[in-house]
Amino acid sequence: MARTQAADYEQRREAIVEKAAQLFARSGFRGTSIQDLSKACETSKSLFYHYYPSKEDVLYAVIASHIDQLVIDVEEVMAGGGEPVELLSNLIHAFMRHYIGAVDRQNVLLNELGSLPEDRRNVIIEKQRVVIDAVQSLLVHIHPSLAANPVRARVQTMLLFGMINWTKTWFRPDGPIDAEELADIVVANALRAETAP
Protein backbone atom coordinates (compact mmCIF):
# COMPACT_ATOMS: atom_id res chain seq x y z
CA MET A 1 0.00 0.00 0.00
CA ALA A 2 1.37 3.40 -1.01
CA ARG A 3 2.33 5.79 1.75
CA THR A 4 -0.04 8.75 1.98
CA GLN A 5 1.41 12.21 1.51
CA ALA A 6 1.71 14.24 4.71
CA ALA A 7 0.26 17.73 4.92
CA ASP A 8 3.77 19.10 5.41
CA TYR A 9 5.26 17.02 2.59
CA GLU A 10 6.81 19.96 0.72
CA GLN A 11 8.22 21.49 3.93
CA ARG A 12 9.87 18.18 4.77
CA ARG A 13 11.31 17.88 1.28
CA GLU A 14 12.79 21.36 1.62
CA ALA A 15 14.20 20.50 5.05
CA ILE A 16 15.93 17.49 3.49
CA VAL A 17 17.35 19.67 0.73
CA GLU A 18 18.71 22.11 3.30
CA LYS A 19 20.42 19.35 5.30
CA ALA A 20 21.67 17.69 2.13
CA ALA A 21 23.20 20.97 0.94
CA GLN A 22 25.12 21.22 4.21
CA LEU A 23 26.38 17.64 4.02
CA PHE A 24 27.25 17.72 0.31
CA ALA A 25 29.08 21.04 0.78
CA ARG A 26 31.05 19.65 3.72
CA SER A 27 31.73 16.04 2.69
CA GLY A 28 30.98 15.98 -1.03
CA PHE A 29 28.29 14.03 -2.84
CA ARG A 30 30.28 10.79 -2.87
CA GLY A 31 31.36 11.25 0.72
CA THR A 32 27.75 11.49 1.92
CA SER A 33 25.59 8.37 2.28
CA ILE A 34 21.84 7.97 2.49
CA GLN A 35 22.49 6.89 6.08
CA ASP A 36 24.24 10.23 6.71
CA LEU A 37 21.33 12.11 5.17
CA SER A 38 18.72 10.14 7.11
CA LYS A 39 20.56 10.70 10.37
CA ALA A 40 20.95 14.44 9.74
CA CYS A 41 17.23 14.66 8.95
CA GLU A 42 16.35 12.58 12.01
CA THR A 43 14.36 10.13 9.94
CA SER A 44 14.57 6.52 8.82
CA LYS A 45 16.02 5.52 5.47
CA SER A 46 12.64 4.20 4.36
CA LEU A 47 10.95 7.50 5.18
CA PHE A 48 13.78 9.37 3.47
CA TYR A 49 13.09 7.40 0.27
CA HIS A 50 9.46 8.50 0.52
CA TYR A 51 10.63 12.06 -0.11
CA TYR A 52 13.53 11.38 -2.49
CA PRO A 53 13.92 8.06 -4.33
CA SER A 54 17.71 8.40 -4.58
CA LYS A 55 20.69 10.42 -3.46
CA GLU A 56 20.96 11.79 -7.02
CA ASP A 57 17.40 13.13 -6.72
CA VAL A 58 18.38 15.06 -3.60
CA LEU A 59 21.51 16.41 -5.29
CA TYR A 60 19.45 17.61 -8.24
CA ALA A 61 16.98 19.29 -5.87
CA VAL A 62 19.82 21.10 -4.08
CA ILE A 63 21.38 22.38 -7.29
CA ALA A 64 18.10 23.14 -9.07
CA SER A 65 16.75 25.12 -6.13
CA HIS A 66 19.79 27.41 -6.29
CA ILE A 67 19.99 27.94 -10.04
CA ASP A 68 16.20 28.37 -10.23
CA GLN A 69 16.46 31.26 -7.78
CA LEU A 70 19.10 32.93 -9.96
CA VAL A 71 16.87 32.50 -13.03
CA ILE A 72 14.03 34.13 -11.07
CA ASP A 73 16.39 36.98 -10.19
CA VAL A 74 17.10 37.50 -13.90
CA GLU A 75 13.41 37.41 -14.83
CA GLU A 76 12.37 39.82 -12.10
CA VAL A 77 15.17 42.31 -12.66
CA MET A 78 14.77 42.34 -16.44
CA ALA A 79 10.99 42.70 -16.13
CA GLY A 80 11.51 45.81 -14.01
CA GLY A 81 13.10 47.65 -16.91
CA GLY A 82 15.73 50.36 -16.81
CA GLU A 83 19.08 51.27 -18.32
CA PRO A 84 21.68 48.50 -18.73
CA VAL A 85 23.90 49.85 -15.93
CA GLU A 86 20.97 49.92 -13.53
CA LEU A 87 19.84 46.45 -14.57
CA LEU A 88 23.34 45.02 -14.13
CA SER A 89 23.62 46.59 -10.70
CA ASN A 90 20.21 45.26 -9.66
CA LEU A 91 21.11 41.80 -10.93
CA ILE A 92 24.47 41.62 -9.16
CA HIS A 93 22.87 42.82 -5.93
CA ALA A 94 20.14 40.17 -6.24
CA PHE A 95 22.71 37.46 -6.93
CA MET A 96 24.85 38.47 -3.96
CA ARG A 97 21.87 38.51 -1.60
CA HIS A 98 21.01 34.96 -2.61
CA TYR A 99 24.61 33.74 -2.62
CA ILE A 100 25.12 34.95 0.95
CA GLY A 101 22.00 33.11 2.09
CA ALA A 102 22.83 29.94 0.19
CA VAL A 103 26.55 29.34 0.59
CA ASP A 104 26.13 25.56 0.87
CA ARG A 105 23.97 25.36 -2.24
CA GLN A 106 26.42 27.55 -4.14
CA ASN A 107 29.25 25.22 -3.10
CA VAL A 108 27.30 22.21 -4.28
CA LEU A 109 26.47 23.85 -7.62
CA LEU A 110 30.12 24.71 -8.24
CA ASN A 111 31.60 21.42 -7.03
CA GLU A 112 29.05 18.67 -7.67
CA LEU A 113 27.38 19.48 -10.98
CA GLY A 114 29.42 16.70 -12.58
CA SER A 115 27.92 14.18 -10.15
CA LEU A 116 24.48 14.53 -11.75
CA PRO A 117 23.37 12.16 -14.53
CA GLU A 118 23.96 13.74 -17.94
CA ASP A 119 20.31 14.54 -18.66
CA ARG A 120 19.84 16.40 -15.39
CA ARG A 121 23.23 18.05 -15.66
CA ASN A 122 22.19 19.41 -19.06
CA VAL A 123 19.02 20.90 -17.57
CA ILE A 124 21.09 22.80 -15.01
CA ILE A 125 23.61 23.91 -17.64
CA GLU A 126 20.79 25.34 -19.77
CA LYS A 127 19.56 27.34 -16.78
CA GLN A 128 23.09 28.55 -16.11
CA ARG A 129 23.24 29.76 -19.72
CA VAL A 130 20.09 31.81 -19.19
CA VAL A 131 21.75 33.59 -16.27
CA ILE A 132 25.11 34.03 -18.00
CA ASP A 133 23.57 35.22 -21.28
CA ALA A 134 21.49 37.84 -19.47
CA VAL A 135 24.58 39.29 -17.82
CA GLN A 136 26.55 39.16 -21.05
CA SER A 137 23.79 40.99 -22.90
CA LEU A 138 23.94 43.80 -20.34
CA LEU A 139 27.73 44.00 -20.53
CA VAL A 140 27.57 44.27 -24.32
CA HIS A 141 25.10 47.15 -24.01
CA ILE A 142 27.33 48.87 -21.46
CA HIS A 143 30.55 48.21 -23.46
CA PRO A 144 29.47 48.32 -27.15
CA SER A 145 32.96 47.29 -28.34
CA LEU A 146 32.21 43.81 -26.95
CA ALA A 147 29.46 43.35 -29.55
CA ALA A 148 32.10 42.81 -32.25
CA ASN A 149 34.04 40.32 -30.15
CA PRO A 150 31.77 37.60 -28.70
CA VAL A 151 34.71 35.65 -27.30
CA ARG A 152 35.93 38.66 -25.33
CA ALA A 153 32.35 39.37 -24.24
CA ARG A 154 32.09 35.87 -22.82
CA VAL A 155 35.45 36.21 -21.07
CA GLN A 156 34.35 39.49 -19.44
CA THR A 157 31.10 37.85 -18.37
CA MET A 158 32.80 34.82 -16.86
CA LEU A 159 35.32 37.04 -15.06
CA LEU A 160 32.39 38.85 -13.46
CA PHE A 161 30.91 35.54 -12.31
CA GLY A 162 34.35 34.53 -11.09
CA MET A 163 34.30 37.55 -8.81
CA ILE A 164 30.98 36.68 -7.22
CA ASN A 165 30.95 32.87 -7.36
CA TRP A 166 34.03 32.48 -5.22
CA THR A 167 33.23 35.09 -2.58
CA LYS A 168 32.00 32.04 -0.67
CA THR A 169 35.62 31.19 0.13
CA TRP A 170 36.47 34.44 1.89
CA PHE A 171 33.51 36.79 2.35
CA ARG A 172 32.02 37.10 5.83
CA PRO A 173 28.58 38.78 6.02
CA ASP A 174 29.39 40.02 9.52
CA GLY A 175 32.69 41.54 8.38
CA PRO A 176 33.51 45.21 7.69
CA ILE A 177 31.90 45.10 4.20
CA ASP A 178 28.34 43.85 3.78
CA ALA A 179 26.86 42.06 0.77
CA GLU A 180 25.39 45.25 -0.71
CA GLU A 181 28.72 47.08 -0.61
CA LEU A 182 30.46 44.05 -2.06
CA ALA A 183 27.95 44.00 -4.92
CA ASP A 184 28.68 47.70 -5.54
CA ILE A 185 32.39 46.90 -5.82
CA VAL A 186 31.71 44.08 -8.29
CA VAL A 187 29.52 46.36 -10.43
CA ALA A 188 32.15 49.13 -10.36
CA ASN A 189 34.76 46.65 -11.60
CA ALA A 190 32.44 45.44 -14.36
CA LEU A 191 31.76 48.99 -15.50
CA ARG A 192 35.43 49.83 -15.91
CA ALA A 193 36.39 46.49 -17.44
CA GLU A 194 39.06 46.69 -20.14
CA THR A 195 37.43 46.16 -23.53
CA ALA A 196 40.25 46.97 -25.92
CA PRO A 197 40.92 44.29 -28.58
pLDDT of residue 1: 40
Query: What is the total count of domains within the chain?
Result: 2
Q: Looking at the structure, do residues 141 and 44 belong to the same domain, yes or no?
A: no
CB 51 within 8 A of CB 3: no
Domain co-membership, 24 together with 44: yes
Of 196 and 23, the one with more pLDDT: 23
- Is 196 part of any domain? no
* pLDDT at residue 29 tops 70: yes
Provide the percentage of residues in the chain whose pLDDT is more than 70: 94
Domain identity same for 47 and 78: no
- Model pLDDT for residues 52-100, shown as the tens digit of each residue: 999 999 999 999 999 999 999 999 999 999 999 999 999 999 999 988 8
Asked whether residue 130 is assigned to any structural domain, the reply reads: yes
> How many beta carbons lie within 10 A of that of residue 92, not counting itself?
24
- Asked if 32 and 67 sit in the same domain, the reply is no
- The rounded distance, in Å, linking the Cα atoms of 139 and 187 is 11
Tell me: pLDDT of 196 over 70: no
- For the chain, the average pLDDT equals 91
Q: Domain range spanning residue 50?
A: 9-55
**Does residue 92 form part of some domain?**
yes
134 and 41: one domain?
A: no
Residue 28 has pLDDT above 80, yes or no: yes
Report the pLDDT value the prediction gives residue 6, as an integer from 0 to 100. Answer: 62
Higher pLDDT, 48 or 125: 125
My answer on whether 82 and 37 are in the same domain is no
Distance CA 138, CA 39 (A): 45
Are 66 and 39 members of one domain? no
Residue 155: C-alpha distances to residues 61, 70, 92, 159 (Å): 29, 20, 17, 6
The CATH code of the domain that includes 118 is 1.10.357.10
Q: How much is the pLDDT for 167?
A: 86
pLDDT of residue 193: 67
My answer on whether 122 and 154 are in the same domain is: yes
**How far is residue 35's CA from residue 93's CA, in Å, rounded to a whole number?**
38
| Residue 142: inside a domain | yes
Query: Is residue 14 located within the same domain as residue 51?
Result: yes
Terminal CA-CA length for the chain: 67
48 and 109 belong to one structural domain: no
**pLDDT at residue number 56:** 96
Average pLDDT over residues 167-179: 86
CB environment 149-173: b (16+ within 10 A), e (fewer): eeebbeebbeebbeebeebbeebee
Per residue in 91-140, pLDDT tens?
999 999 988 888 899 999 999 999 999 999 999 999 999 999 999 999 99
Question: What is the rounded distance in angstroms from the CA atom of residue 194 to the CA atom of residue 152?
Answer: 10
